[in-house]
Structure 1
Amino acid sequence: MSNKDKDEVLDDTQDQNQDVTSTENDDNFEAAEELTIEEQLHEDLAKEKDKFMRLFAEFENYKRRTSKERIDLFKTASQDVIVAMLPILDDFERALLHIEEDKEAEEMRKGVLLIYNKLLNTLNQKGLQVIELSAGDTFDADVHEAITQIPAPEEGLKGKIVDVVEKGYKLGEKIIRYPKVVIGK
């Protein structure tokens, strides 16, 4: 074999080796590419799953919030009517105080008391509650409305409620009229 023939055989062998190496490199590249695509798919799936879980949680919170708002709305739906009725309730209480002083109006007092109790019971059935207060209770600015301060008649009444001028009312858990009080200084 001549040198020329040997060179041709060597060239053919090198070409075949390059083809094999190239094929192996292509296979490795394809395997790496498949692995990368698979990793990318898993990553995308995890992202979409996270989005879905967040959206689902947000929707559940929305349902819970709207349900609570609806219940609160039903509880206080009649608030405007009840607030409008409170001055009438106050007038009944003033009338009862005035009638008690007049001994001749005993029968009228019974009739007014009957109507007052009926009105009060109806409002109580709708969720109205009186905020109970008396002289000597601790003043709370979140619950009471101080209309004035006077010198405390006793040392123990300083900073406390001395007199309740107007009753306060709650509808459910919401205060619809704050009690007006006088506090001692």
Structure 2
Amino acid sequence: MPENKEQELENAENTADMPTDADNLEDAQTPAEAPVEGPEALDPLDAAKLEVSELKDKYLRLYADFENFRRRTAKEKLEMFSSANADMMKAMLPIVDDFERANQSFETSNNLEALKEGVDLIYSKLIKTLESKGLKPMSAKGEAFDAELHDSIAQFPAPTEDLKGKVVDEIEKGYYLNDKVIRFAKVVVGS
């Protein structure tokens, strides 16, 4: 027991010599004297190099993100076009079937009037299918010539004065797809 008492006394003396928190506050450096850590403590050249490396890293990451975005959108665009064509082809398949049946009936039937009626029905079905997909024919005959809608392939002397500068004849129909011209009408313009 006496040894324990001696150790306790020594420990008490040692702790008395240690500075307390109040002592630490007095001896602590002021904020202006405290050593600065981080980029400010570095040499300006080292700080600039560090900043350049950080900016370079950010740039490379941004560039990689942009490349991934570009590739992804290109892939999505291709998939969209291919699926749009698939929808159109599915809509056209019944008409192809009708044309195949019409060809078979041409070989076996001599009734031209019935065959013509069948072809007319297939044609009207084709036009309705195309219109349901947004296709509209352009009416050009008698209209004023418009270079944004018409492709003039010839000029013809106008039979009357009021047909000058207007479409006299339509050689090939023009078409709109969702109000955008996809084929210009080939026309003859009166001069």
1:24 corresponds to: none
Give the direction of change, closer, same or farther, for the CA distance of 1:145–1:154 in structure 2 (3 Å limit). same
Alignment partner of 1:34 is 2:49: no
1:64 corresponds to: 73
1:137 corresponds to: 143
- Equivalent position amino acid for 2:77 in 1: K
Shift, 1:110, TM fit? 4.8
Q: Is the 8 A contact 1:128 1:169 kept in 2?
A: no
Shift, 1:162, TM fit? 1.6
Q: TM-score, normalised by structure 2?
A: 0.49
Give the direction of change, closer, same or farther, for the CA distance of 1:67–1:170 in structure 2 (3 Å limit). farther
1:107 and 1:32 map into 2 onto residues whose CA distance is: 94
Unmatched tracts of structure 2, length 5 or more: 1-38, 96-111
Shift, 1:46, TM fit? 1.0
Give the direction of change, closer, same or farther, for the CA distance of 1:60–1:66 in structure 2 (3 Å limit). same
1:157 and 1:109 map into 2 onto residues whose CA distance is: 35
Alignment partner of 1:117 is 2:124: yes
Q: Between Structure 1 and Structure 2, how many residues are aligned? A: 130
Give the direction of change, closer, same or farther, for the CA distance of 1:43–1:138 in structure 2 (3 Å limit). same
1:14 corresponds to: none
1:73 and 1:61 map into 2 onto residues whose CA distance is: 18
Give the direction of change, closer, same or farther, for the CA distance of 1:75–1:184 in structure 2 (3 Å limit). farther
2:190 corresponds to: 184
Shift, 1:160, TM fit? 2.4
Unmatched tracts of structure 1, length 5 or more: 1-30, 86-104
- From 44, 47, 58, the counterpart of 2:56: 47
Q: Is the 8 A contact 1:136 1:162 kept in 2?
A: yes
Q: TM-score, normalised by structure 1?
A: 0.51
Shift, 1:155, TM fit? 3.2
Counting helix residues as a fraction of each chain, which structure ranks higher?
1
Give the direction of change, closer, same or farther, for the CA distance of 1:143–1:164 in structure 2 (3 Å limit). same
Identify the range of structure 1 (128-137 vs 36-45) with the bigger mean alpha-carbon deviation: 128-137
Give the direction of change, closer, same or farther, for the CA distance of 1:35–1:138 in structure 2 (3 Å limit). farther
Give the direction of change, closer, same or farther, for the CA distance of 1:52–1:141 in structure 2 (3 Å limit). same
1:159 and 1:73 map into 2 onto residues whose CA distance is: 42
2:72 and 2:47 map into 1 onto residues whose CA distance is: 37
C-alpha deviations, 1:77-121, integer Å up to 9, x for none? Answer: 669xx8xx9xxxxxxxxxxxxxxxxxxx98776544323212323
- Name the SS of the counterpart of 1:135 in structure 2: coil
Shift, 1:73, TM fit? 4.2
- From 155, 162, 166, the counterpart of 2:172: 166
- Equivalent position amino acid for 2:166 in 1: K
